Amino acid sequence: MSVINDPLTPSVKCYLAALVAMFTALFGEPAEAHENVQEEPLVQAAPELKPAEEGRSGEAMFKQACASCHSLEYDSNRDLLTLWDRKGPSLVSAGSKYRDEWLQDWLQEPVAIRPAGYLAYRRTLVGDDGDKISTAFKDKHLAVDESKARLLTDFLAQQQLPLNPYPAFNGTPVIKGAIHFNKILGCGSCHRVGDKGGVTGPGFDSASSRYQAQWLTSYMQDPYYWDTVPMPKLRVRSDQLVAMTDYLMLDRDSALFGEESAAQVSMREKLYRDKPPQDVSSIEGRAEKIYQIACSQCHGISGDGLGLNSSFLAQEPRNHTSAKEMKKLSNEHLFKVIKFGGVSVDKSTLMPAWGALIKDKDIEALVAYLRQLSQTENPKGRR
């Protein structure tokens, strides 16, 4: 049968032409017309995008310049070691977390939010007078122009998780947010507000312009709902949550965007050294990696109790290398304090409970690692 006499040929051609027209209308010209979109670095001149592409260009730029460091996948595994090779925080809930105005400005002029950078153990130096942050390792983040920042912000605003349910009531003057944050619950051990607090967690000077208040309350109630993070889950009441949210969301002059104060300069001189950070590539043991991620912030990279946050704590962290101290503690005691926190053994509330994140078998491995650090054995007659 000849092609000319084929009654289906005109219909097929019309059908294919209609498909091409429909896809062109929806997605613009074929991909080869815009090959440079994926190849050009974000810091260079932006590619010309047709109107049909504008709705998805933010996603294209994210895949091109951000996806190598930031994930948009929800991780329900809740294993701390998934952070070991992660270069930046997850943005799976960026739209629930950040205020659009702040994010758009930050993408154009990115500044450090964590004084010690993301996952501080990677840029920590060990010294006789305690751990310090290496100035030789500088976190660099791409800066984009206003139009790209707007497109990226619009795309990230779509990355949302529903607020996990929590009982939220009005605060009461009896509950002092600052006292709970810094002393009772120990959040200030890692997080800095003004010239007070630790340096391994995000600072809160710009919290009022950076975060959405409902997200902040929800996050403090259950951080593991949102992401796998080296932050303990606290037992906290709704009135405490509201009070701390109000405290953190106060409209402060952000030190991040202004000149350094005398206190900040003093802190930098105290905490920073101009030497290369430690090499963590040779660390293989699972327990040692967990220790570096979660414990070294206060107890130190080498376990000597002189971690980056140690000088900001009201109670000195335990020296895990001290045989004198560690030989008095049973394996059962060590397991209990790691899983349930310092209050479980009548010690400081500044030692948080890690049982909601670190599994029992990993806590047992941590106990064995502490024995290795201190070169001690489980006291006789005790488990």
Q: Model confidence over 251-275: pLDDT tens digits?
A: 875 544 456 677 777 878 888 888 8
- For residue 51, the SS3 value is helix
Q: Which residues pair with 44 in a beta bridge?
A: none
Residues spanned by the domain of 301: 284-374
| Sheet containing 272-273, strands listed edge to edge, beginning at the edge strand earlier in sequence | 124-125, 132-134, 272-273
If asked whether residues 235 and 179 sit together in one domain, one would say: yes
Cβ count near 173 (within 10 Å): 6
Task: Indicate the number of domains in the chain.
Answer: 2
Residue 381 has a pLDDT of 59
207 lies in a domain?
A: yes
If asked whether residues 153 and 261 sit together in one domain, one would say: yes
196 phi and psi, to 5 degrees? -125, 145
**Which of 270, 299, 319 marks a domain boundary?**
270
- Return the CATH number at 293: 1.10.760.10
pTM: 0.80
Structure tokens that stand for 201 in this block: 């967690």
65 pLDDT band (50/70/90 cuts)?
confident
- For residue 117, the SS3 value is coil
If asked whether residues 236 and 212 sit together in one domain, one would say: yes
Q: Model confidence over 71-127: pLDDT tens digits?
A: 999 988 889 999 999 999 999 999 999 999 999 999 999 988 998 999 999 999 998
